[in-house]
Amino acid sequence: MPWIYRICCPSVRILLFLLSRWEVKGKENVPRKGPVIVVANHMTVLDPPMLSVSLGRYAQIMAKEELFRSRVSSYLMSGLGAFPVHRGRLDRQAMRVAEKALADGGILIVFPEGQRSRNGQLQRASDGVTLIALRSGVPILPVGITGTERVSGIWSVLRRPRLTVNIGRPFHPPPANGKVDRTECTQYIMEHIAEVLPAEYRGIYAGGKTG
C-alpha cells in the first residue's frame, strides 16, 4: 500500500465525517479478502476517494489518462492507487494492470460509464469492465453513490450534504452458452448498479435486473 494512500485515507474519512452526513450501507457485502471488481456510478470527483475509503480495504482505481499527464499529478494519482486508462479504445496496458491487481487478490474499482454523469443518472457504459470480468472470473460488487452531485461550492458543504454509498451483494456475469455477448453482459452489470440506486438515478438502466 503506497505511503500517500496511508496518509490520505484517514484524512478523507475525517473530512467526510466533519463536512457531510456520510453513510455506508451494505459494508458487510465487501469480501474481507480475495479479488473483487467494484463497479459504481460516477457523478463528481468526490466519488473515487469516497468510494475507496468506504470499502475498508486498499483498492486500485481505473482513472482517465488525462489525470496523469504531469509528473506531479501522475505521482499523486499513482500514490492513491489509481492507474491510467485511455477511454474510447482497448487499452492493453491498463488491462494488464487491472488483471494483475486482481491476480494479486486485490480490489479493482471501475466506473463503467467512463465519465461523470452530468444529470446524475446512469449513462450508457462501455464494455471494458465486462472484458475484465470475463477474463478474470472474479466476483463483481455493485455500488450506488448518491448525494455527491449536490456538492458544489462552500455553501453546499456548510449544509453537510447527505452522501451515501450503497454496497450490493457480489455477483458473477450470467453463464453463457457459446459466445459471450459483451453488450448483454455489460447491461447485466449496469442493471445491478441500478438496483442499488434510487429510481431517479437509474437512467437508461431503469428497466430492472437481467436474468
**In this structure, is residue 11 part of a structural domain?**
yes
Residue 135 vs residues 62, 83, 95, 170, 188: alpha-carbon distances, Å: 17, 19, 10, 17, 16
Whether 136 and 37 have beta carbons less than 8 Å apart is answered as yes
Angle at 201 between CA 196 and CA 206, to 5 degrees: 75
Over residues 87-104, the mean pLDDT reads: 86
pTM over 0.85: yes
Of 8-12, 74-78, 138-142, give the lowest mean pLDDT range: 74-78
**In this structure, is residue 83 part of a structural domain?**
yes
Q: Which residues contact 6 (CB under 8 A, 6 or more apart)?
A: none
CATH number at residue 24: 3.40.1130.10
CA atoms within 13 A on the CB side of 154: 0
Residues in the chain: 211
CA atoms within 13 A on the CB side of 180: 15
**In this structure, is residue 74 part of a structural domain?**
yes
**In this structure, is residue 211 part of a structural domain?**
no
Please tell me the predicted confidence (pLDDT) of residue 209. Answer: 55
Q: Which tens digits make up the pLDDT trace of 13-48?
A: 999 999 999 999 999 999 999 999 999 999 998 999
- Average pLDDT of every residue of the chain: 89
The pLDDT of residue 109 is above 50: yes
**In this structure, is residue 210 part of a structural domain?**
no
Amino acid type, 68? F
Residue 183 is placed in which grid cell? 453488450
Over residues 115-138, the mean pLDDT reads: 92
* pLDDT band at 211; cut points 50, 70, 90: very low
Please tell me the predicted confidence (pLDDT) of residue 167. Answer: 98
**In this structure, is residue 93 part of a structural domain?**
yes
Please tell me the predicted confidence (pLDDT) of residue 48. Answer: 92
Please tell me the predicted confidence (pLDDT) of residue 166. Answer: 98
Q: Which tens digits make up the pLDDT trace of 65-84?
A: 787 788 888 888 888 888 88
The pLDDT of residue 178 is above 60: no
Over residues 88-104, the mean pLDDT reads: 87
The pLDDT of residue 204 is above 90: yes
The residue range of the domain holding 45 is 3-205
Beta partners for residue 174, in sequence order: none
CA 206 to chain centre: 19
The total domain count for the chain is 1
Between 171 and 208, the higher pLDDT residue: 171
Over residues 111-130, the mean pLDDT reads: 92
Please tell me the predicted confidence (pLDDT) of residue 2. Answer: 76
The pLDDT of residue 140 is above 80: yes
Over residues 166-181, the mean pLDDT reads: 81
Q: What does the H/E/C string look like for the chain?
A: CCHHHHHHHHHHHHHHHHHCEEEEECHHHCCCCCCEEEEECCCCCCHHHHHHHHCCCCEEEEEEHHHHCCHHHHHHHHHCCEEEECCCCCCHHHHHHHHHHHHCCCEEEECCCCCCCCCCCCCCCCCHHHHHHHHHCCCEEEEEEECHHHCCCHHHHHCCCEEEEEECCCECCCCCCCCCCHHHHHHHHHHHHHHCCCHHHCHHHCCCCCC
**In this structure, is residue 177 part of a structural domain?**
yes
